[in-house]
Amino acid sequence: MREKFCPKCGRSVEKLYNDLCKDCFLEKFSLVKDIPDRIIVKICKSCGKYFIDQKESHTLENTIDLFLPDLLENPEITNATYRIEKNKIHLNLDLKFDDLEKKEEKTSELVIKSILCQSCSMKKSGYFQAVLQVRSPKQLHERLEQEVKNQINLLAKQNKSAFISKIEDSKNGFDVYIGSRSVANEVAKKLKNKFGAEKKISRKLSGMKGGKRVYRDTILVSIGD
């Protein structure tokens, strides 16, 4: 077998890894440098959700679980585990290159910043795109109001604008101010299908945003006896 020499240490070896001997390569081979020294997670002081790099979750652990796979997307990482301890994230990596294996550890500072998320900020400001007007016999008001809240909570899992800015009592029913026209329409459709309601929509220009017209919908859902 032809003798090979490591250009860094000068040793004679049988095999080179990226032109280095095993020891010199493993000394150089590292992926923890790609892990930031500080990992910043934001928590909404209103709804309690955690946010990191456009990802969100209801718990800190789930948020880190969503964040790390993108950070560690490397075929040379065979396994990765972590633990959160106070304001630190301790990360353990198992690496493999060719027939070589290596373990690495990294401790990053965990910084949690308090914010008001976009959805809660819009809700707090009273923002809405649609008014859902529910009209029904009085004995159905409480049930229908809870139904509307339940439907919006379900839709909020996919749509950040699925929120209620306010609810006002009205003659023969109540009015729900909703952050999204599409969400309001979806809720109205659910009420129509479930309770045999009549549905009417009117649209009004409310202003301009980014050179485009902005409309608000008023959706009337009427349920008979």
For residue 54, what are the contacts with CB-CB under 8 A and spacing of at least 6?
A: none
How would you write the pLDDT of the chain (225 residues) with one tens digit per residue? 577 899 999 889 889 999 999 999 999 999 888 889 999 999 999 989 999 988 889 999 999 988 888 878 888 999 989 999 989 999 999 999 999 999 999 999 999 999 999 889 999 999 999 999 999 999 999 999 999 999 999 998 888 889 999 999 988 999 999 999 999 999 999 999 999 889 999 988 776 666 677 778 999 999 976
What predicted TM-score, i.e. pTM, was given to this entire model? 0.71
Please name the helix (run of DSSP H) or strand (run of DSSP E) that holds residue 145, with its range, or none.
helix 141-155
| Bridge partners, 204 (sequence order) | 216
What is the rounded distance in angstroms from the CA atom of residue 206 to the CA atom of residue 192? Answer: 27
Whole-angstrom distance, CA of residue 134 vs CA of residue 224: 11
Q: Which among 206, 198, 191, 144 is positioned nearest to 169, based on CA atoms?
A: 144
Structure token digits, residue 34? 């790609």
DSSP assignment letter at 25: H
